[in-house]
Structure 1
Amino acid sequence: MAPKVLVSDELSETAVQIFRDRGIDVDFMPTLGKDKEKLAEIIGNYDGLAIRSATKVTAKLLENTDRLKVIARAGIGVDNVDIPAASKKGVIVMNTPFGNSITTAEHAIAMMFAVARQLPEANASTHAGKWEKSRFMGVELFNKTLGVIGAGNIGGIVCDRALGLHMKVVAYDPFLSEERAKSMGVTKVELNELLARADFITLHVPLTDKTRNILDAASLAKTKPGVRIINCARGGLVDEAALADALKSGHVAGAAFDVFVVEPATESPLFNLPNVVVTPHLGASTSEAQENVALQVAEQMSDFLLTGAVQNALNMPSVTAEEASVMGPWIKLAEHLGAFVGQMTDEPIKAINVLYDGHVADMNLAALNCAAIAGIMKATNPDVNMVSAPVVAKERGIQIATTSQGKSGAFDAFVKLTVVTDKRERSIAGTCFSDGKPRFIQIKGINIDAEIGHHMLYTTNEDVPGMIGLLGMTMAKNEVNIANFTLGRTGIGKEAIAILYLDQRLPQKVVELLEGTGLFQQVKPLEFDVG
C-alpha cells in the first residue's frame, strides 16, 4: 500500500504534485490545520503530515495516531510541534532549514539599511506632506563593524553580504572554528568583545535555554553607545523591555525586529519608539522562499517514506538515500543484536556499549546506535523505534558509549554490542556477509556463525555428549522443524551454546520439557523482526 500524506496548511500545488509523482497518496487540505478537532479525528489515517505554522502538533494530537511516521515543517521554525512528544511517539520531525536562508538573510540586511537610514519614518513623514530632510540624519554601513551572533547557515550569508558592503564583521558562535572564520573573512570573538566593538548587531541563532535573552539588560549595557540591533531570527533572543529602556535612554540608537516573544505581536515594549523598525515575521516571506521550502518538504518526506532517507531531522540522525541503501543490512544487524540482548536481559540496564570494527566504523554510527538501542528497548516496549528509543534510554538513565576501530580480525567489519547491568555484562557480535544477510558471529566470547530467523531458540549447557541429539529429538517429537542449527563452545567439556533457527514459534511446553531435563543453564526462545 502506498504511503499516505496529509498536507494541512498552505503548500504550493507544485509541491503537492511531487508527492503524487513519487507515488504517494496525498490529501491536500490547506485549511485543516486551523480545525484541531477535525485534524485529531483523521490524523490516524496518515503516514506523514506536511505543515507550515498554522497546524499545531501537540502531545494530545499525537495521541490520536499510531500510524504517523513523519512530520515535516515547510520552514525553519518548529515552535508549533511538540518535538519531545513526537520523539516519544516515534515520529520523525523534519524542517527545511535551507530553503529560505537567502530570503531571511536578505531581510536582515534590508532591516539594517532601514534602521541605519530611518527609512520607514522618513517614508511616513514624506507621505504626510512633510519635508523633514534635516530630521532624518542616518549613518553609513561602509566601514562599520557588524557583530553577528550565530554564524551558521543564515548568519554566514549575512556575513558574506556585509563583507560585500565593505563592513568589518566580527562573529560570536561557539561552534565556529578559527579556520572556518578565516575562510569566511570574519573575525571570531567572544560575546563580550562583540558587544564592545559592534556598531550593528544582528542575531541568527535558535531559541534555546542558552540563547534566551542573550541580549538582556546586562549585555546591552556592555554594547557600544549608538549601537543598532537587528533580530530576524527568533523572538526571545533579546529582552524587549530592556532594549526599550536602552532605546529610550539613547544608549541604543535604533532597532529592527521581525520576530517577537509573543506572536502574532499586537503589542510590544518596542512599538511606537523612534527609530524602531518592526515587521510581522516576514523573514521567509518571498515567493521564491515559500516555493523552495514547499518543494523541499515534499522531496524530504517522499524520500523518507519511500527509501528511508532522513534529511534535516530534529530528533534523529540524518541518513542520506545512499547511506540508507548501503547501511540497510547493518541497521538491521544492529537492531538484531539489540533484540538479542534485550530479550536475554531481565534486570535494569545501566549502560550500552557499541563497538564498530572495520569499514562499518566509517558509516553513520549515530543512526546505527539508534537501531541497536531500539532493538534492546523493543523487548519491553514493542512500540519503540529508532526515533523514540534514545529518548526512552535517556529517561531510564542508561549510559550509551560508542567505540570505533580499524579492521582487527577475520571479518572485514563487525559490530559488537554489550549491555551492562548490576549483575553482569552480556555481549554479542555480528556482521553482514556479501549477500546482505546479517549473522551472529560471537556470543559471550564464543565464536559462531548463526543465520538470523524470525523464530529462534538459544540454549547454554555444559559441553557433554548427547546434547545435540536431545535438542533435535525434542524438536522432532513436538513437530518443530529446525531450519538451521549453530553450535559453539569455550572448550572441550566447558560451556557450550546452541542457536536454533526454527520454522515456527517454539511452544511453551517444549521450553518446559528442555528445562525439565536439568541439563541446560538457559533455554530462551527469541523472536526477531527479519522483515
Structure 2
Amino acid sequence: MAPRVLVSDELSETAVQIFRDRGVEVDYMPKLGKDKEKLAEIIDQYDGLAIRSATKVTEKLLEKATNLKVVGRAGIGVDNVDIPAASKRGVIVMNTPFGNSITTAEHAIAMMFAIARQLPEASASTHAGKWEKSKFMGVELFNKTLGVIGAGNIGGIVCDRAVGLKMKVVAYDPFLSEERAKQLGVTKVELDELLAKADFITLHVPLTDKTRNILSRENLAKTKKGVRIINCARGGLVDEAALKDALDSGHVAGAALDVFEVEPATENVLFGHPNVVCTPHLGASTTEAQENVALQVAEQISDYLLSGAVQNALNMPSVTAEEAAVMGPWLKLAGHIGAFIGQMTEEPIKAINILYDGAVSGMNLQALNAAVIGGVMKAANPEVNMVSAPVLAKERGIQISTTRQDKSGVFDAFVKVTMITDKRERSVAGTCFSDGKPRFIQIKGINIDAEVGEHMLYTTNEDVPGIIGLLGGTLGKHGVNIANFTLGRSAVGKDAIALLYLDQPIAPAVVAELEATGKFQQVKPLEFDGA
C-alpha cells in the first residue's frame, strides 16, 4: 500500500508532483493548516505531513496523528512543531536547512551594503524630491574587517562573498577547523578578538542557551567604535535595548536587522532609529529559495517513507539512501537484539552497552544505537520506535555507551548488546550473513547460530539428555510447528540454552506445561516484528 502524505500549507505544484512521481499518494490542501480542528479530524489518515509555517504541529494534534511517521518543514525554522512531543510519539521531524542558504547569505550581504551606504534613507530622501547628496556619506567595504559569528552553511557562504569583495574576514565558530578556515580564506579567532577587530559584524548562528544575547550589552561595549551590525539569523542573538543605547551613543554606527526577539514585530525599540535598517524576516524570501525548500522537503519525505533514508532530521540520526540500503539488515538486527533483551528483562534497566565489531563499526552508529534502544524499550511500550526510544531512555536515566573495535573473531562483523540492571547483566550478540538475514550468534556467553523468526521460544536448562525430545514432543502435541531448532551450552553438563523458531505463537498453556516439567530454568516466548 502506497504511503499517504498531506500537504497542509502552500507548496509549489512541482513539489506536490514529486510525491506523485515517486509513488506517494498526496492530498494538497494548502488552506488546511489554518484550520486546526479540521486538520485534527483527518490527520490520522496520513503517514507524512508537509508544512511551511502556518500549520501548527502541537502535542494535541500529534495525539490524533496515530499513523503519522514524518513531518517535513519546507524551511529551516521549526518553531511551529512541538519536537519533544513528536519524538515521544516516534514522529521524525525534518527541515530543509540548505534550500535557502544562498538567499539568506545574499540578504546579509545586501543589508551590509545598505548600512554602509545608507541606501534606504537615501532612497526615501530622493523619492521625496530632496537632493541631499552631502547628507549620505557612506563607507567602503573594501579592505574593511568583517567579523562572522557562525561560519557554518550560511556563514560560510557569507565568508566566501566577503572575501570576493576584498574584505578581511575573521570568524568565530567553536566548530570551525583551521583547515576549513583556510579553505574559506578567513582567520579563525575567539569572540573577544572578533569584537575588537571587526568593522562589520554579521551573525549566523542558531538561537540556543549559549548564543542568546551573544551581542549583549557587555559584548557590544567590547566592539570597535563605529562598528556596524547585521543580524539575518535569529531574533534574540542581540540585546535590542543595549543595541539602541549603543546606537544612540554613536558607539555603533549602524545596524541592519531582518529578525527580532518578538515576531511579527509591529513594535520594537529600534524602529524609527535613523541608523537602523529593518526588513520583515526576508532572509529566505526569494522565488528560488521558496521553490528549493519545497522541492527538498518533498524529496526528503518521499525518501523516508519509501526507503527509510533520513535527511536533515532534528530528532533522529541522518541515514542516507545508500546507508539505508547497506544498513537495512544491520538496523533490523540491532532492533532484534534490543527486542530480545527487552523481552527478557522485567526489572529497571540501568545501562545499555553496545559493542560494534568489524565492518559494522564503520557504519552510522547513532542510527544503530537508536534501533537497539528502540528494540529494548518496545517490550514495555509497543508504540516506541527508533525516534522516541532514545528520548524515553534518557528520561528514565538509562546510560547508553558505545564501543567500536576492529574485527576480533570468526565473523566479519557483529553487534553485541549488554544490558545491566541492579540484579544482573545480560548480553546478546548477532550478525548478518551475505543473504542479509540477521542471526543470533551468542546469548549469555554461549555460542549459537540461530535464524531470527517472528515467533520464537527461548529456554534455559541444565545440559542433560532428553531436552530436545521434551520440547519437540510438547510442541508437536499442541500443533506448534518448529521451523528451526538451535542449541548451545557452556560445557558438558553445565548451562544450556535452546532457541526455537516457530511457525505460530506459542500459547501460555503450552509454556506452563513446559515449566511444570521442572526441566527448565526459564521458558520464554519471544516476538520479533518484521523478522
- State the TM-score, normalized to the length of structure 1: 0.99
Which whole-Å deviations, capped at 9, do the CAs of 1:202-257 have from their partners, x for residues lacking one? 00011111111111111111111111110001111111111111111111110000
Matches within 5 A, 1:419-438: 419-438=419-438
Q: CA deviation at 1:530?
A: 2.5
Q: For 2:353 and 2:338, how far apart are their aligned partners in 1?
A: 11
Q: For 2:84 and 2:396, how far apart are their aligned partners in 1?
A: 15
2:128 aligns to what? 128
Q: CA deviation at 1:397?
A: 0.7
Q: For 1:87 and 1:476, how far apart are their aligned partners in 2?
A: 44
Q: CA deviation at 1:334?
A: 0.3
Q: CA deviation at 1:426?
A: 0.5
For 1:136, what is the secondary structure of its paired residue? coil
Q: For 1:207 and 1:110, how far apart are their aligned partners in 2?
A: 22
Matches within 5 A, 1:411-422: 411-422=411-422
For 1:317, what is the secondary structure of its paired residue? coil
Q: For 2:191 and 2:350, how far apart are their aligned partners in 1?
A: 39
For 1:63, what is the secondary structure of its paired residue? helix
For 2:261, what is the secondary structure of its paired residue? coil
Is 1:81–2:81 an aligned residue pair? Answer: yes
1:393 aligns to what? 393
Q: For 2:89 and 2:397, how far apart are their aligned partners in 1?
A: 19
Matches within 5 A, 1:220-231: 220-231=220-231
1:150 aligns to what? 150
Which whole-Å deviations, capped at 9, do the CAs of 1:456-502 have from their partners, x for residues lacking one? 11111111111111111111222211111100000001000001111
Q: For 2:60 and 2:215, how far apart are their aligned partners in 1?
A: 34
Q: CA deviation at 1:182?
A: 1.4
1:336 aligns to what? 336
Q: For 1:423 and 1:429, how far apart are their aligned partners in 2?
A: 20
Which whole-Å deviations, capped at 9, do the CAs of 1:108-167 have from their partners, x for residues lacking one? 000000011111011111111111111111111111110101000000000000000111
Q: For 2:439 and 2:501, how far apart are their aligned partners in 1?
A: 12
2:92 aligns to what? 92
2:443 aligns to what? 443
Q: For 1:173 and 1:491, how far apart are their aligned partners in 2?
A: 58
For 2:64, what is the secondary structure of its paired residue? coil
The amino acid of 1:442's aligned partner reads Q
1:197 aligns to what? 197
1:353 aligns to what? 353
Q: For 2:276 and 2:359, how far apart are their aligned partners in 1?
A: 57
1:295 aligns to what? 295
Q: For 2:480 and 2:304, how far apart are their aligned partners in 1?
A: 39
Q: For 1:42 and 1:499, how far apart are their aligned partners in 2?
A: 44
Taking only aligned residues, the RMSD between alpha carbons, in angstroms, comes to 0.9
Is 1:24–2:24 an aligned residue pair? Answer: yes
Matches within 5 A, 1:172-191: 172-191=172-191
Q: For 1:344 and 1:454, how far apart are their aligned partners in 2?
A: 16
For 1:113, what is the secondary structure of its paired residue? helix
For 1:509, what is the secondary structure of its paired residue? helix
Q: For 1:122 and 1:497, how far apart are their aligned partners in 2?
A: 85
Identify which range, 459-468 or 152-161, moves more after superposition. 459-468
The amino acid of 2:120's aligned partner reads P
Identify which range, 368-377 or 474-483, moves more after superposition. 474-483
Segments of 5+ residues of structure 2 without an aligned counterpart are none
2:246 aligns to what? 246
For 2:228, what is the secondary structure of its paired residue? strand
Q: For 2:321 and 2:427, how far apart are their aligned partners in 1?
A: 31
Is 1:112–2:78 an aligned residue pair? Answer: no
The amino acid of 2:448's aligned partner reads I
2:162 aligns to what? 162
Q: For 1:490 and 1:107, how far apart are their aligned partners in 2?
A: 68
The amino acid of 2:483's aligned partner reads A
1:139 aligns to what? 139
Which whole-Å deviations, capped at 9, do the CAs of 1:313-342 have from their partners, x for residues lacking one? 111011111111111111000000000000
The amino acid of 2:471's aligned partner reads L
Is 1:371–2:371 an aligned residue pair? Answer: yes
The amino acid of 1:206's aligned partner reads P
2:258 aligns to what? 258
Identify which range, 35-44 or 301-310, moves more after superposition. 35-44
For 2:96, what is the secondary structure of its paired residue? coil
Q: CA deviation at 1:357?
A: 0.7
Q: For 1:122 and 1:247, how far apart are their aligned partners in 2?
A: 19
The amino acid of 2:272's aligned partner reads N
Which whole-Å deviations, capped at 9, do the CAs of 1:53-112 have from their partners, x for residues lacking one? 111111111111111111111111111111111111111111111111000000000000
The amino acid of 1:377's aligned partner reads M
Is 1:44–2:44 an aligned residue pair? Answer: yes
Q: For 1:530 and 1:8, how far apart are their aligned partners in 2?
A: 32
- State the TM-score, normalized to the length of structure 2: 0.99
Query: How many positions carry a matched residue from both structures?
Result: 531
Q: Percent identity?
A: 83
- After the TM superposition, list the runs of 4 or more consecutive aligned residues in structure 1 that deviate by more than 3 angstroms: none
Q: For 1:268 and 1:496, how far apart are their aligned partners in 2?
A: 74
Which whole-Å deviations, capped at 9, do the CAs of 1:373-428 have from their partners, x for residues lacking one? 10000000000011111101111111111111111100111100111111111000
Q: For 2:233 and 2:34, how far apart are their aligned partners in 1?
A: 25
1:475 aligns to what? 475
